[in-house]
Chain A
Amino acid sequence: MSRIPLTNIEQQPEPIRQFMARRGDLNVLRLLANAPNVFGGWAQMVDEMFDSPTFSRRMRELIILRVAHLQGSPYELGQHTGLARAAGLTEQQINAVVGTGDLDAAGFSRTERTALDVVTELCSTHRLRDESFAAAHGVFGDEAFTELLMIISCYYGLALVLNAVDLDLDTTARFQP
């Protein structure tokens, strides 16, 4: 049960209402709308991340699902498991990413596996060893590697907000990527 009251969408200023019309009438957005001074900038960041062509939808959802699992966020897992499935991840791959299956046996490409390894090491140790950085940088290059970090950063931090508030998963509404 959410520890902070969720705002009413009708009472939000126009930019917030527009963002919610585009991305979904979600509990997370009704929560963050309590802080209108920071909502707008955060929403622009999310828009750019999901509008960027750098990663496929499948790759982005893979990264998000792994962060959600490592941060123990039921809300992010609840939102993004279906999105991961819709983006083409198999049940076996989803199970492996959320810790109940074998990552090596799930048929990920080398690029996907490299991204998963970055997420795992960074979220669990807060840093990357030189050899991990070199491997990932070799696969992604400067721009995509930095954008990968941006996605990890966004969902790592957001998971903390959601866990702290104990936010309820939306009954049916889902994020529109």
Chain B
Amino acid sequence: MTRIAYRRPEEMTERARELTFARGNLNVYRALANAEKVFTGWMLAGRAALTSPVLPIRLRELIVVRTAYLMDCPYELGQHNDVARTAGVDNDEIKVVSSDSDWQTGYFNALELAVLHLTTELLTTRSVSAAVFDQVHKALGSEATVEVLMVINRYSGLALMLNALDVDLDETARLPIPDCESSICQRGGRSRYRPESRL
């Protein structure tokens, strides 16, 4: 049961309301909108992360689900299991990426595995060995590597807020991912990095 009252959209500034509706008017946004002086900036940071074409959406969602699992965040898992599926992650893959070690064999390509290793090591030890880091950096380059780290940044921090407020998972509403309404975000997608061709 969410521990604070939701802000009603009509109580928000116009900008905050627009951003909230554009992202499905989810419980997470209506809860965090209580921080009205910083909410708009936080939403803009999220929009930038969700609309950047640098990372394939499938790769981004693998990072999000892995982060949600390691941060023990039921809300993020509830939302992003569905978003990940839309982004081309199948049910078995979602299951293993939300487990301690099953993801390491048989499911993911070399780049995805390297990114999942980095995510796991960073969230469990708060740092990353040079070898694991370099593998990702060599494969993705600097821009995409920073974006990978910013996804971990955002969703680990968000997990703390969701857990602290104990936000209820929305019954049916899910984060809309416009690019996924067509088939372009299936494996590889149209983004600049094609996991199959790297590593």
Contacts and interface: CB of A to CB of B under 8 A. Distances in A.
Interface stretch (B80-88, B96-104, B126-134, B173-181): B126-134
Contacts of B118: 164
Contacts of A40: 44, 48
A49 B41 contact: yes
Interface stretch (B105-113, B140-148, B182-190): B140-148
Interface of A: 3-5, 31-32, 34-42, 44-49, 51-54, 71-73, 118, 122-123, 126-128, 133, 137, 142-143, 145-147, 149-150, 152-154, 156-161, 163-166
B8 to A, nearest CB: 13
Contacts, number: 172
A36 B54 CA distance: 10
B interface, by DSSP: helix, strand, loop or mixed?
helix
Contacts of B156: 156-157, 160
Interface string B42-83: 101111110111100000000000000001110000000000
B89 interface: no
Given A34-B143, A37-B53, A122-B160, A161 B48 contact: no
B72 A127 contact: yes
Nearest to A165: B149
Interface string B148-192: 011011111111110111100000000000000000000000000
